[in-house]
């Protein structure tokens, strides 16, 4: 799990890691997905984001192999935002996969002692 989050997401989207024209867009969608994962209890309590190809999967998954489905979850959500399928059947299939993976990730985290992200109180 030492591969770059950005580069592995680009690879599965069919974009060579050396082609950087869409990096800003893909990074934005990855970070949006990390915000959703944080609400599911995955990652650091204060959230997680990337700004380039340096962060790797271990940075968010902490070598927990039981969270490997997070990679698929990130890809599928980024795919829908960045390059949605042209048919409603494919769109529905991807949305169903996202829903199932989200449920499985959430269930796993709850079994492991899910803790809600903390919120700072206003003064």
Whether the CA torsion 69, 46, 33, 54 is positive or negative: it is negative
* pTM for the model: 0.86
CA distance 76 to 5: 14
Average pLDDT, the chain: 89
Tokens standing for residue 35: 């915000």
pLDDT, one tens digit per residue, over 51-100 is 999 999 999 988 788 888 999 999 999 999 999 999 999 999 999 999 99
Question: Which one has a higher pLDDT value, 122 or 63?
Answer: 63
Of 42, 109, 46, 34, the residue nearest 75 (C-alpha)? 34
């Amino acid at each position: 799990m030492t591969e770059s989050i950005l580069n592995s997401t680009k690879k599965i989207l069919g974009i060579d890691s050396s082609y950087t024209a869409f990096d800003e867009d893909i990074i934005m969608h990855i970070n949006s997905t990390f915000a959703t994962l944080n609400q599911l209890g995955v990652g650091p309590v204060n959230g997680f984001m990337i700004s380039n190809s340096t962060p790797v999967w271990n940075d968010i998954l902490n070598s927990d192999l039981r969270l490997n489905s997070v990679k698929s979850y990130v890809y599928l959500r980024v795919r829908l935002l960045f390059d949605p399928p042209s048919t409603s059947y494919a769109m529905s299939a991807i949305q169903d996969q996202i829903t199932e993976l989200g449920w499985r990730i959430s269930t796993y985290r709850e079994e492991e002692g899910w803790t809600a992200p903390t919120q700072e109180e206003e003064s």
